[in-house]
């Protein structure tokens, strides 16, 4: 475990998910177990503005008669700036520059295939992500590929597998109980990543299983290890019906939820995470999140790779 992951977790817990005893002390365990009773309510202005942005609403349109939206954007420009900073990956051509920057690929996923996978999602998750990511539920599949689900949409599955170009792939269902940004990390040991770095044969795929879509924070890798060299994170949104694939060396973090609190407790932004091995490469036997710098277990990635400058605003408004 990285040295100050717990410190970061407690800091956010104290500010956004406060639960105190009679002496005013933070009860972290109670916060985790209380599920949604202590969660902040969705900021209605943020939700409306976000929906407008998703539907390509132009807030500068002089003919726009949505007075409520106009008032919200004028009264809270910081919120609009924060929401507008989220990179919406809804079109490969439009996002070509960003995809090239991260050596990433974006494609469509059949709605029928998504519905089939949603049906097979666990009715109750039994495992949480380790290293103080207790807000994240997951269920790693025991069988590689998706044939074991006997999905009806064979054409959709074939299209997905052609896009992945996988020799092997393994999926995992993920769900967020409440928002707590993951610290920056990679999904394999650095020894494994180095072995496959040149030919880029290990990749990661992400796609949402509900109309809420899914969010990630990603960072460009920097080889300048000086503490003063800080790399700011970018919050991205993957809409329902899209899949994003990135190199396995991509530094990233999840842990975001926008799903309404009234929904079933463990289905916050339900999504599918895919570990992909291409060409003639086999998937590593084990997957292990690494939060520290390569070659130095005493230095966290979070000391150089910092949250988006808009994270605080988003935590107080859009995310729940």
Alpha helix (H) residue ranges in 185-268: 190-195
User: Of 179 and 228, which is predicted with more confidence?
Assistant: 179
CB 213 within 8 A of CB 195: no
**Cα separation of the two ends of the chain:** 26
User: Distance between CA atoms of 171 and 36, rounded to whole angstroms?
Assistant: 27
* Confidence bin at 64 (pLDDT 50/70/90): low
pLDDT tens for residues 267-311? 689 999 999 999 999 999 888 899 999 989 999 999 999 999 999
Question: Which range is least confidently modeled, 45-59, 110-124, 162-176, 269-283?
Answer: 45-59
User: Distance between CA atoms of 108 and 239, rounded to whole angstroms?
Assistant: 10
Asked if the model's pLDDT at residue 5 lies above 70, the reply is no
Helix H or strand E segment including 288: none
Asked if the model's pLDDT at residue 60 lies above 60, the reply is no
Mean pLDDT throughout 183-207?
95
User: Of 300 and 72, which is predicted with more confidence?
Assistant: 300
User: Distance between CA atoms of 164 and 105, rounded to whole angstroms?
Assistant: 9
Question: Which range is least confidently modeled, 141-155, 171-185, 255-269?
Answer: 255-269
* Confidence bin at 16 (pLDDT 50/70/90): very low
Mean pLDDT throughout 98-115?
98
Buried b (16+ CB within 10 A) or exposed e, 26-35: eebeebbeee
Q: 0.85 cut: is pTM over it?
A: no
Per-residue pLDDT at 95: 98
Mean pLDDT throughout 13-32?
48
Per-residue pLDDT at 303: 95
User: Of 208 and 51, which is predicted with more confidence?
Assistant: 208
Question: Which range is least confidently modeled, 11-20, 216-225, 271-280?
Answer: 11-20
CA-nearest of 227, 235, 216 to 303 is: 227
pLDDT tens for residues 131-163? 767 889 999 999 999 999 989 999 999 999 999
Alpha helix (H) residue ranges in the chain: 5-16, 28-33, 44-54, 67-75, 77-84, 96-101, 111-120, 154-164, 190-195, 311-316
Per-residue pLDDT at 266: 55
Asked if the model's pLDDT at residue 31 lies above 90, the reply is no
CA-nearest of 214, 163, 216, 185 to 293 is: 185
User: Of 1 and 131, which is predicted with more confidence?
Assistant: 131
Fold category of 87-312 in CATH: Jelly Rolls (2.60.120)
Domain assignments of the chain as residue spans, ordered by start: 5-81, 87-312
Helix H or strand E segment including 258: none
Q: In the chain, what are the helix, strand and coil shares in percent, each to the nearest 5?
A: 30, 25, 45
CA-nearest of 57, 52, 36, 55 to 264 is: 36
User: Distance between CA atoms of 199 and 279, rounded to whole angstroms?
Assistant: 9
């Amino acid at each position: 475990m990285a040295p100050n992951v717990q410190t970061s977790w407690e800091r956010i817990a104290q500010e956004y998910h406060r639960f105190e005893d009679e002496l005013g002390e933070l009860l972290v365990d109670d916060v985790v177990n209380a599920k949604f009773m202590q969660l902040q309510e969705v900021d209605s202005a943020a939700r409306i503005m976000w929906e407008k942005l998703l539907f390509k609403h132009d807030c500068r349109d002089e003919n726009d008669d949505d007075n409520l939206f106009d008032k919200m954007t004028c009264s809270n420009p910081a919120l609009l700036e924060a929401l507008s900073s989220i990179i919406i990956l809804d079109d490969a051509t439009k996002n070509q520059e960003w995809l090239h920057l991260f050596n990433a690929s974006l494609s469509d996923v059949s709605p029928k295939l998504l519905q089939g996978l949603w049906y097979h999602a666990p009715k109750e998750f039994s495992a949480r992500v380790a290293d103080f990511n207790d807000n994240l539920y997951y269920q790693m599949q025991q069988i590689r590929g998706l044939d074991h689900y006997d999905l009806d949409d064979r054409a959709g599955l074939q299209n997905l597998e052609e896009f992945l170009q996988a020799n092997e792939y393994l999926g995992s269902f993920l769900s967020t109980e409440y928002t707590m940004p993951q610290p920056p990390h990679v999904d394999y040991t650095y020894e494994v990543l180095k072995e496959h770095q040149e030919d880029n044969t290990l990749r990661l795929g992400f796609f949402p299983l509900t109309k809420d879509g899914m969010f990630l924070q990603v960072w460009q890798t920097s080889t300048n290890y000086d503490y003063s060299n800080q790399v700011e994170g970018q919050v991205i949104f993957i809409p329902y019906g899209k899949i994003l694939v990135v190199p396995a060396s991509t530094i990233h973090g999840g842990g975001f939820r926008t799903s309404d609190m009234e929904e079933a407790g463990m289905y916050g932004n339900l999504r599918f995470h895919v570990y992909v091995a291409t060409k003639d490469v086999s998937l590593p036997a084990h997957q292990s999140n690494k939060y520290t710098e390569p070659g130095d277990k005493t230095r966290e990635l979070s000391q150089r790779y910092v949250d988006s400058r808009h994270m605080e605003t988003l935590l107080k408004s859009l995310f729940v």
